[in-house]
């Protein structure tokens, strides 16, 4: 299935919604693990209700459950690290680290799908690493948050690639439903370990304000945006989706500057490093077309002419 301009607009709208995710995570008072516990549970319940209402079958063939559940576990770990980054650092640091998802995708997708690694993607990835170094060196007090964010980006790239394969075989609503269930079960199993090694007491009871933010996070940013993004993976490559998702830091950082007034806490080098990273992201589609797209088009057009004749 080929993407058209409406699909691109839809994808960008979803990414804009995701720009609110880190801000909502910062506003929610409970820690990252407990936050993801509630997000995944509410998202699973909301998805199940929506599917019953739309009369979409909830059952899924048995052989699909394990890979989808394991992908859900990756999503849980991705979100826990993501929200932990906002808690120990701030939204802007978290989102700059998350932009490295493009680098991880450029390395992981060829390995998993047995494709050739493009030199352009590796070069842009190295440029992004330099940008991350500038941010890391300038905001060393936020080093742990940046490490969490980069690790979250790695897991985000991995589950994005796996979802791109799953969506070719199963309905995107079913994938979302059982991935949220797998993510929630992962949180449940992780809670005793988390309680024993990291915290003295779990904080599973959200405040009244938290409930409003959690409902927005699970309903709009997860049930709607996540399932819609999985659907769009039928029309885009994992790299193209993750490239667009890199606009999430732009939207999220601007929202953090506006809503949380974070700009005053960040150094000049943060903005230099962030500009390098985002510049590499925006340069990719232009350079990719220049180096690869024109050659492919020149190769395809004569073949079409031969076929017509």
How many residues are listed for the chain in this entry? Answer: 309
In this prediction, residue 181 carries a pLDDT of 94
Total tally of structural domains belonging to the chain:
1
Q: What is the pLDDT of residues 66-81, one digit of tens each?
A: 999 999 999 999 999 9
* Long-range contact set of residues 55-63: C-beta below 8 Å, sequence gap at least 24: 56/171, 56/173, 56/174, 57/174, 58/174, 58/177, 60/170, 60/174, 60/178
Q: What is the pLDDT of residue 79?
A: 95
- Tell me the whole-structure pTM to 2 decimals: 0.81
Containing domain of residue 30, as a range?
5-308
pLDDT value of position 289: 67
For 261-279, how does the pLDDT look when each residue is reduced to its tens digit (9 = 90+)? 766 667 777 778 778 877 8
CA distance 70 to 180: 11
> CA-CA distance, 179 to 182, in Å (whole number)?
5
Greatest Cα pair distance, the chain, in angstroms, is 75
Where on the phi/psi map is residue 55: left (φ > 0), alpha (ψ -120 to 50), or beta? left
pLDDT at 85: 93
CA dihedral 217, 221, 226, 229 (to 10 degrees): -170
3-class secondary-structure state, position 226: helix
**Residue 63: predicted pLDDT:** 85
Helix H segments across the chain?
A: 5-27, 32-53, 62-88, 91-98, 101-113, 119-138, 143-166, 172-197, 208-218, 225-232, 238-245, 247-259, 268-288, 294-308
pLDDT of residue 241: 67
In which residue ranges of the chain is pLDDT below 70? 1-4, 138-139, 237-243, 245-246, 262-265, 285, 289, 292-309
């Amino acid at each position: 299935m080929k993407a058209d301009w409406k699909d691109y607009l839809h994808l960008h709208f979803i990414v804009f919604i995701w720009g609110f995710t880190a801000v909502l995570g910062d506003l929610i008072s409970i820690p990252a693990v407990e936050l993801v516990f509630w997000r995944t549970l509410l998202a699973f319940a909301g998805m199940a209700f929506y599917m019953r209402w739309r009369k979409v079958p909830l059952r899924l063939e048995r052989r699909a459950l394990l890979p989808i559940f394991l992908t859900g576990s990756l999503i849980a770990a991705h979100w826990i690290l993501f929200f932990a980054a906002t808690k120990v650092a701030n939204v802007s640091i978290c989102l700059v680290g998350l932009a490295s998802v493009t680098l991880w995708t450029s390395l992981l997708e060829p390995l998993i799908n047995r494709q050739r690694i493009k030199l352009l993607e590796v070069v842009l990835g190295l440029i992004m690493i330099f940008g991350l170094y500038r941010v890391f060196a300038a905001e060393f007090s936020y080093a742990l948050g940046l490490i969490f964010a980069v690790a979250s980006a790695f897991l985000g790239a991995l589950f994005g690639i796996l979802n791109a394969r799953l969506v070719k075989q199963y309905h995107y609503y079913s994938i979302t439903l059982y991935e949220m269930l797998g993510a929630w079960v992962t949180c449940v199993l992780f809670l005793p370990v988390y309680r024993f090694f990291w915290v003295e007491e779990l904080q599973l009871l959200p405040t009244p304000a938290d409930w409003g933010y959690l409902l927005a996070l699970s309903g709009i940013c997860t049930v709607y945006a996540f399932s819609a993004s999985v659907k769009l993976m039928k029309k885009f490559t994992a790299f193209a989706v993750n490239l667009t998702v890199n606009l999430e830091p732009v939207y999220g950082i601007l929202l953090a500057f506006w809503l949380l007034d974070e700009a005053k806490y960040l150094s000049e080098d943060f903005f230099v490093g962030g500009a390098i990273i985002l510049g590499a992201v925006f340069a990719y589609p232009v350079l990719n077309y220049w180096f690869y797209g024109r050659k492919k088009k020149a190769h395809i057009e004569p073949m079409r002419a031969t076929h017509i004749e």
